[in-house]
Amino acid sequence: MTSRPFGSLDWARRTSGIPELLDQIRQASIADASELPKSFFTRLAAAGFGRIRVPVAEGGLGGDVLDLLDAIVAIAAADSNLAQSWRTHVLATERHVKAPTGPLRDRWIARVAAGEIIGGGWTEADGSGPSVFTTRLSTESGSPTLTGRKFYSTGSRYADWLEYSAVDDAGELVIAALRTTAPGVTLLDDWTGFGQRATASGTTVLDGAPVDPADVAPFDTQHLGTPGWQQLILLAVLVGIGEATRAAAADLVARIDRAHGGSPILVLEGYGRISALAASSHASLGRIGRLNEIAHQAIIAGDADAAALADDAVNAVFQAQAVIVEQTIEAADRLMTLPSFLDDNAEAADLRSSLRLDRFWRNAQTLSTHNPVLHRLRAIADRELYALDRIAEPGERAVAVERAIADAIRPLTVVRVDPALAARLTADPRSLDRVAAAFRDREPALFQFDERPGAHFDASVAIATLLHRLPTAWFAIGTADLSVTGHPYNLARRIASLEQLSGGRTAWVLDDGAAEDGFVESDAERDRIRVVQQLLRSWPLESIAADASAEHFAQTERIRRINADGAYPTAGPLNVPSSPQQLPVMVSSRRFDDVHRYVDLLVRGDGWVLPYADAAGHVLAAGHVVADIDGLLAIAASLPGASTTTPQTLRARLQLPVPALYELPGASARFERGSDTEAS
């Protein structure tokens, strides 16, 4: 059983002589030779395979992408080496078919329509990058000549024309073409892969080979979606291997049936799995073929969304690669194991050897190393998560990650209330009501009250007076000097109380105006922060039973001592439960080595950025210092209307996860129920 074709052309079954030719190729492939008869190529070319994608009006068959994939699968099912050997021709033809009308396109379309085959290659084995080439197109002799070495010149020994990437005298990348028989061209038979051995993928040596100037084109003539097409052809070959594996499995079962009057049930189950894998891969290929045809039509029509459609098609090809590679290799591996279910080991070994069952696995493994799947998976992630159109360098990805996070968060307005104004508001309820009324129906803002030495107000009191007046706003206490906050236990109680009163709408800002990268906090400062954060989570909110019929007020086994030593020895636990956001948002102006352990955001200028942001990090919160009531009213007037009246924790608003709980040295296990220290 073979899969039904995707397209309507059905070239492999409807073209006279092709079914018989493919059967001959299939029989020859069992020998697994290192070279294929060139007659296979010339007969396929004569039957129109090489011009399937050329429009009928220009001498081609006018097939769409699905028709082409059908043909490649059919050839690969007969011999995957033969199918892959056409890859360069298929890619070059697609580039010329999609090219704008002009002399270069006309020249190449005429050659392809006449049945000529294109080979060549891009890759160089000198350690240069994928787009860095040492092959040179020089005009020093008065006319263009090519000099260099190309590795993986797949199919070139069977081709009429060769296309190579090179760098011209101006340092520009170009594509230069010349006849296979041109002087200065040497095609070496040095491909030694353990699979796909007959693809003529050896080295090409170019030694001053002459090139017609009319056959030189800019490298950027690559069409939209080229990266996907480069893999699409290989996936069609892999699907063909899957079809061949299924056919070989069926033949193997038939042999066993004839010899034994039936096959062991495990053999039949194995065949069923192979068939399912082949069918699944074939279906995946059909999907990406349709997407590439849609993109092709958009490119030809010059549609505005052509680039986006081509990009979607590329991503779909990469997704399919991850599946098709695994499925084809698994099917080939299962084929090799089928004879092992026979009772006669000698018979099993003979079947494996005589039918050369390992060739499918070796060929699939070799094809899978082209553009490894791991690279494709990274490309998928970079595209879908970070809007990168290729695999990114680590530094580039870091910037993209930061941008993706920041772009998903609407910047929060931070109103930094001057201490004198804060004191006035807390002492004047009428002014406070006026300000609250101005902000009430606006998008919620965050009010930061900075505590400074000598200030005649308590930030906690200021926040408490606003909480019920602005039930959706957020609040922060700004501290410039940690030493004025007292013992960490008292500071933690104060913060926890505000967290409970606000329902998790507060932040703690440590801002002394410094922003020095690499700054190392003193042990005392570090210990204070760590102890406060540990205390704030020593009594988890979820431990409270909140049920009058419950035996205990709290599940005390979830409450724990922190047993902190260092500058601030503290046993704990805190006598206030954690808030709905577990820990207030922590903001600091210091960027010390392990800042991400303790700090959610960094102060940069008047804004807040992520702790791993670069110097120009995307601002998640923009600060405005206000010294009078008119300034507050002006900010309120600038805010858009509120979209919801439902309170939200500050962490939820900024989409910040709760930092990991880093244990302190000496921290004890949680209390055991019934112990002397049980809280109730």
In this predicted model, which residue has the larger pLDDT, 324 or 33? 324
Do residues 647 and 498 both lie within one domain? Answer: yes
3-class state of residue 375 by DSSP: helix
Neighbours of 664 (CB within 10 A): 18
In the chain, % of residues over pLDDT 70? 88
Q: What is the pLDDT of residues 483-539, one digit of tens each?
A: 677 788 988 998 999 999 999 999 999 876 655 544 445 667 777 888 888 899 888
In the chain, % of residues over pLDDT 90? 45
Last residue of a domain, one of 185, 200, 221: 221
Q: What is the pLDDT of residues 33-62, one digit of tens each?
A: 767 788 898 899 999 999 999 999 999 999
Contacts of residue 288, Cβ cutoff 8 Å, sequence gap at least 6: 228, 232, 235, 313, 316, 317, 320
Confidence band (pLDDT; 50, 70, 90) for 374?
A: confident
pLDDT at 280: 96
Do residues 231 and 322 both lie within one domain? Answer: yes
pLDDT at 521: 55
pTM: predicted TM-score of the whole model, two decimal places = 0.74
**Lowest-confidence region among 237-246, 355-364, 457-466, 667-676:** 667-676
In this structure, what are the phi and psi dihedrals at residue 670, rounded to the nearest 5 degrees?
Answer: -65, 155
Report if residue 189 sits inside a domain. yes
Last residue of a domain, one of 359, 386, 413: 386
Residue 573, preceding peptide bond in cis (omega within 30° of 0): yes
One-letter amino acid for residue 297 of the chain: Q
Would you say residue 634 has pLDDT above 60? yes
In this predicted model, which residue has the larger pLDDT, 121 or 314? 314
Q: 64-101 as b/e, with b when 16 or more CB fall inside 10 Å? A: bbbbbbbbbbbbbbbbbbbbbbbbbbbbbbbbbbbbee
Report if residue 307 sits inside a domain. yes
Q: Contact, 535 vs 488, CB < 8 A?
A: yes
Do residues 261 and 195 both lie within one domain? Answer: no
Average of pLDDT values for 344-358? 85
Detail the DSSP E strand segments found in 295-439.
412-417
Total domains present in the chain: 3
Would you say residue 204 has pLDDT above 80? yes
Do residues 140 and 287 both lie within one domain? Answer: no
* Most confident range, picked from 77-86, 336-345, 399-408, 668-677: 77-86
Q: What is the pLDDT of residues 409-443, one digit of tens each?
A: 788 999 999 888 888 888 888 998 999 999 988 99
Average of pLDDT values for 117-146? 80
pLDDT at 632: 94
Residue 207 sits in a domain whose CATH number is: 2.40.110.10
Q: What is the pLDDT of residues 252-261, one digit of tens each?
A: 999 999 989 9
Do residues 244 and 212 both lie within one domain? Answer: no
**Domain span at residue 359?**
226-386
Do residues 569 and 515 both lie within one domain? Answer: yes
Would you say residue 130 has pLDDT above 70? no
Q: 155-189 as b/e, with b when 16 or more CB fall inside 10 Å? A: bbbbbbbbbbbbbbeeeebbbbbbbbebeebebee
Distances in Å between the Cα of 287 and the Cα atoms of 7, 284, 310, 319 are 12, 5, 14, 11
pLDDT at 594: 66
Do residues 342 and 254 both lie within one domain? Answer: yes
In this predicted model, which residue has the larger pLDDT, 439 or 189? 439
Q: Contact, 335 vs 360, CB < 8 A?
A: yes
Query: Mean pLDDT in the chain?
Result: 85
**Lowest-confidence region among 4-18, 77-91, 282-296, 648-662:** 648-662
Q: Contact, 6 vs 289, CB < 8 A?
A: yes
Report if residue 667 sits inside a domain. no
Do residues 375 and 489 both lie within one domain? Answer: no
Residue 586's DSSP bridge partners are 508
In this structure, what are the phi and psi dihedrals at residue 136, rounded to the nearest 5 degrees?
Answer: -115, 135
Torsion of CA 379, 380, 382, 385, to 10 degrees: 180
Q: Contact, 60 vs 68, CB < 8 A?
A: no
The DSSP H or E segment spanning 352 is: helix 345-354
3-class state of residue 470 by DSSP: coil
Average of pLDDT values for 559-574? 84
Report the candidate in 597, 552, 595, 559 with the shortest Cα–Cα distance to residue 576: 559
Report if residue 40 sits inside a domain. no
Report if residue 426 sits inside a domain. no
Residue 167's DSSP bridge partners are 136, 173
Report if residue 134 sits inside a domain. yes
Contacts of residue 427, Cβ cutoff 8 Å, sequence gap at least 6: none
Report the candidate in 148, 214, 153, 206 with the shortest Cα–Cα distance to residue 182: 206
Do residues 512 and 376 both lie within one domain? Answer: no
In this predicted model, which residue has the larger pLDDT, 266 or 392? 266
Confidence band (pLDDT; 50, 70, 90) for 286?
A: very high
Would you say residue 185 has pLDDT above 90? yes
Q: How many residues does the chain have?
A: 680
Q: Does the CA dihedral 610-616-619-624 come out positive or negative?
A: positive
Distances in Å between the Cα of 567 and the Cα atoms of 524, 534, 581 are 5, 15, 28
pLDDT at 15: 93
Would you say residue 213 has pLDDT above 90? yes
**Lowest-confidence region among 192-196, 210-214, 279-283, 382-386:** 192-196
Q: 476-495 as b/e, with b when 16 or more CB fall inside 10 Å? A: bbbbbebeebeebbebbbbb
Confidence band (pLDDT; 50, 70, 90) for 665?
A: low
Q: How far apart are CA 321 and CA 332, in angstroms?
A: 16
Would you say residue 392 has pLDDT above 90? no
- The token pair that represents 5 in the structure block: 């074709």
Neighbours of 662 (CB within 10 A): 12
Report if residue 675 sits inside a domain. no
Contacts of residue 448, Cβ cutoff 8 Å, sequence gap at least 6: 414, 415, 416, 417, 475, 476, 477, 478, 507, 509, 623
Report if residue 284 sits inside a domain. yes
Q: How far apart are CA 412 and CA 509, in angstroms?
A: 15
Last residue of a domain, one of 341, 364, 386: 386
Distances in Å between the Cα of 575 and the Cα atoms of 415, 532, 559 are 31, 13, 10
**Lowest-confidence region among 320-329, 629-638, 651-660:** 651-660
Do residues 214 and 313 both lie within one domain? Answer: no
- The token pair that represents 616 in the structure block: 């120009």
Detail the DSSP E strand segments found in 276-429.
412-417
Average of pLDDT values for 340-362? 87
Contacts of residue 4, Cβ cutoff 8 Å, sequence gap at least 6: none
Do residues 527 and 596 both lie within one domain? Answer: yes
Average of pLDDT values for 368-389? 83
Do residues 125 and 267 both lie within one domain? Answer: no
Q: Contact, 449 vs 477, CB < 8 A?
A: yes
pLDDT at 676: 39
Average of pLDDT values for 606-613? 78
Residue 308 sits in a domain whose CATH number is: 1.20.140.10
In this structure, what are the phi and psi dihedrals at residue 616, rounded to the nearest 5 degrees?
Answer: -105, 40
